[in-house]
Amino acid sequence: MSDPTPPLLQIHHLTKTFGGLMAVEDVSFDLTAGLILGLIGPNGAGKTTIFNMVTGFYQPTSGEIRFMEKKIGKLSPHQITQAGIARTFQTIRLFKNLTALENVMAGLHHRTRMGIWDALIRSKSQRQEESMIMTEAEYFLQVLGLAGYRNELAKNLPYGDQRKLEIARALSTRPTLLTLDEPAAGLNEHETQDLIAMIRKIRDGGITILLIEHDMKMVMDLCEQIVVVDHGRKIAQGTPEEVQKDPFVIKAYLGEEEK
């Protein structure tokens, strides 16, 4: 069926070469708003490279990325976040020596404006803004169940909660598209179920989700659309049922342990 509104994220013929190595080759797919899309593939398939291009950490060698119809391939990471795409990292990259609250406050930076002068004179707008930042940050902590860690250093949080904190931090930038890089890595069964529920809640709140994952059970359970890449190329796209039956996918994963 044809949808009159264009997809939120459009990736056309995306290619990335590093020196002589072709990490991503001619990958194209679209992401409709409101969907949860999973990007899967064997190790080294190019998933994180695609991710990094979407979030501005790498520049595509060729091809086009459009977000809400605007070309974003050449933007720097902070511009991409300002445009409405937030991300988490595969290896957790929290501000380790800062508190959970301070971590989440980071996401509010680009949504606020007060500069040096206002800071010096503590103008009324500055005080209001600071208060807003605090309230917003506490809200996000609470929503993810982390309110108790408010003044705790990020590095002291248990692993599962660190992952949640990273998501809280990404959410505080108020993104339209949330990209998660292996959010379930290192989580146990129970925590993974929590995560799935949380991601669904986030999506129901109006945020589109794009995620990379290795945990197949989680992917098949959670994602509505799946894109499979192998050796830098897209080899399949579709619903979980379709993808599971795809012969190319099965071949690519042959020999890989299913979680």
Partner 1 sequence: MQLIQQLINGITIGSFYALVALGYTMVYGVLKMINFAHGDLFMWGAYLGLASLTFIVGIFTNGSPWMIIPVVIIVALTVALAGVLVERVAYRPLRTAGRLAPIISALGVAFILESLARNVFGASWKTYPTGVVPTGGIQITPEVRVSTMQLSVLVVSFILMAGLYLFIQRTRTGTAMRAVSQDPGVSRLMGIDVNQIISRVFLIGPGLGGIAGLIVALYYGSFDFTLGWTFGLKAFIAAILGGIGNIPGAMIGGMLLGVIETLASGYISPQWKDVIAYVILIIILVFRPTGILGERVAEKV
Partner 2 sequence: MRIAKIQASFRRYPYAWQIGLIILAILLPLPLGDYYRTVAWRTGVYIMLGLSLNIIVGYAGLFQLGHAAFYALGAYTAAIMNLKLGIPLLLTFPFSILIAAVFGYLITRPILHLRGDYLAIVTIAFGEVVRLALVNNIFGITGGANGLSGIDRPNLFGLELRQPIYHYYLMLVFLIFTIFAIRRLENSRLGRAWMYVREDEAAAEAMGIDTTRVKLMAFILGSGWAGLCGALYAAKLTVISPDLSRFLESVVMFSIVVLGGTGSIPGVVVGTLGMVTLPEMFRPLKDWRDAWMGIAMVVMMIARPEGLWPSRRVRLEIRGDQEEANPIPAANS
Residues 51-70 that bind partner 2 (CB under 8 A): 55-57
Report how far residue 130's alpha carbon sits from residue 119's, in angstroms, rounded to the nearest whole number.
10
**Which amino acid is present at 90?**
Q
Site for partner 2 in 126-145 (CB under 8 A): 126, 129-130, 133, 144-145
Q: Does 77 sit near partner 1 (CB under 8 A)?
A: yes
17-46: which residues touch partner 1 (CB under 8 A)? 18
- Exposed / middle / buried, residue 46 (Cβ in 10 Å: 0-12, 13-18, 19+): buried
52 binds, among partner 2, partner 1, none (CB under 5 to 8 A by kind): partner 1
The piece of 7-15, 20-28, 42-50, 99-107 that touches partner 2 (CB under 8 A) is 99-107
Is residue 48 near partner 1 by the rule CB under 8 A?
Answer: yes
**Residue 57 is a binding residue for partner 1 (CB under 8 A):** yes
Residue 79 Rama label (left phi>0; alpha psi -120 to 50; beta): alpha
Name the binder of 90 from partner 1, partner 2, none, CB < 5-8 A by kind.
Answer: partner 1
Fill in the amino acid letter for 195: L
Residues contacting partner 1: total by CB under 8 A? 8
Cβ-count burial 214-237 (b if 16+ within 10 Å, e if not):
bbbebbbebbebbbbbbebbbbbb
| Residue 247 burial (C-beta neighbours within 10 Å; 0-12, 13-18, 19+) | exposed
157 binds, among partner 2, partner 1, none (CB under 5 to 8 A by kind): partner 2
Q: Strand 62-67 relative to strand 9-18: parallel, antiparallel, unpaired?
A: antiparallel
Q: Which residue has the tokens 């809200």?
A: 139
Q: Tell which one of 11, 40, 46, 52 touches partner 1 (CB under 8 A).
A: 52
**Positions that interact with partner 2 (CB under 8 A):** 55-57, 76-79, 81-82, 86-87, 89, 93-98, 102, 105-107, 109-112, 114-116, 118-120, 122, 126, 129-130, 133, 144-146, 148-149, 152-153, 155-158, 160-161, 169-170, 173, 194
